[in-house]
Structure 1
Amino acid sequence: MAMRRAILAAGFAAVAVVGAAYYAVAGNGLSTAMLETATGSHAIKVELAQTPETRATGLMNRESMPADQGMLFEFDETRPVAMWMKNTLIPLDMLFIDPDGVVKRVKTNARPLSLDTIPSGAPVKYVLELNGGAAARFGVAAGDRLRHPIIPQP
């Protein structure tokens, strides 16, 4: 019985450590992107998704995201991409962005838990996911620009 309790305690401790490490990395791994629209420049704290693993997971299983944050996906090459909302619990706006940082398409309020694909509509290198409604709040439209250190500026 004591051995069983020790194993359970070790398991719970491991889960707590992994969870704390994840949130520490996510919190400390934020950088600032500037979204330039007709309504002005808007600073957004972004978490980067640059590996196949982070791109596959994205914002899945998160119950909320601060209003001034998002996730910036960087793909290995410029190409048409498609996103989906499987296991994503919050509505998202998606900005599909070309290699120069120009917004090519805006998808607003993607439905949580949907298996529908959301195509970029054009070759892109980046996708910025924001809370649903953020694109309207910032006045985002095709032709606007995102600036971030990973996006080379022309």
Structure 2
Amino acid sequence: MLGLVLGMAGCSGEKAASKPATKTLADRFEIKVGSQPVRMQLAVLEAEMMRGLMERRDLAPDEGMLFVYRRPQRLSFWMRNTPLPLDIGFFNRHGMLEEIYPMHPFDETSVQSRSTMLSLALEMNQGWFREHGVKPGAALDMAALRAALTARGFDPRRFGFEE
């Protein structure tokens, strides 16, 4: 009887192992901005967005954090407990870059978008957008973003990111 119970436990473990694990905030996804590949962490949940890049002391050259909002809105960010100099790019729900602003370490002054129709914000090392020639009008690879959201366990349609 014990052998049968152990055998059944082994089978259920195999089924669980064959299902791919849902990705987390710690995972990075390659998503292009214009022609530039960026390894992005996706901040989707409110707690992830509130934490952002706080207390991070380094960010690889082509790495960033993408904040994904469920509905278009005016976006506002600050640098509380964030020692890295960053740039932030604001995108509409179609993935079009509309605005870019510098953000300075530990500055708690809000950096607010002009547009009220933004759904995405990308934080990168300060100077990244300029150094890579990425300007307003550049497009975020929305197919890659939809795939990354799906890998994180989110339905991209809930964010208005239809195919």
Give the TM-score category using the shorter length: 0.7 to 0.9
Flag structure 2 segments of 5+ consecutive residues without an equivalent. 1-23, 147-155
Provide Cα deviations, 1:30-67, integer angstroms capped at 9, x if missing partner: 1011011xxxx110000000000000000000000100
Q: Displacement, 1:71?
A: 0.2
1:66 to 34, 39, 60: 60
Provide Cα deviations, 1:8-48, integer angstroms capped at 9, x if missing partner: xxxxxxxxxxxxxxxx962xx11011011xxxx11000000
Distance in 2 separating the partners of 1:64 and 1:100: 30
Amino acid at match of 1:84: W
Q: Is 2:109 the partner of 1:116?
A: yes
Distance in 1 separating the partners of 2:87 and 2:25: 24
Distance in 1 separating the partners of 2:25 and 2:137: 32
What corresponds to 2:92 in structure 1? 98
1:30 to 18, 28, 42: 28
Distance in 2 separating the partners of 1:117 and 1:51: 21
Match of 2:145, SS? coil
Match of 2:109, SS? coil
What corresponds to 2:134 in structure 1? 140
Q: Displacement, 1:153?
A: 6.8
8 Å Cα contact 2:68-2:120 kept in structure 1: yes
Q: Is 2:100 the partner of 1:89?
A: no
Among the aligned pairs, what percent are the same residue?
26
Distance in 1 separating the partners of 2:145 and 2:121: 15
8 Å Cα contact 1:106-1:140 kept in structure 2: no
8 Å Cα contact 1:101-1:153 kept in structure 2: no
Distance in 1 separating the partners of 2:25 and 2:54: 16
TM score, norm. by length of structure 1: 0.76
Match of 1:128, SS? strand
Q: Displacement, 1:137?
A: 1.0
8 Å Cα contact 2:25-2:42 kept in structure 1: no
1:125 to 106, 119, 122: 119
Q: Displacement, 1:143?
A: 1.1
8 Å Cα contact 1:73-1:127 kept in structure 2: yes
8 Å Cα contact 2:43-2:68 kept in structure 1: yes
Flag structure 1 segments of 5+ consecutive residues without an equivalent. 1-23
Aligned length: 124
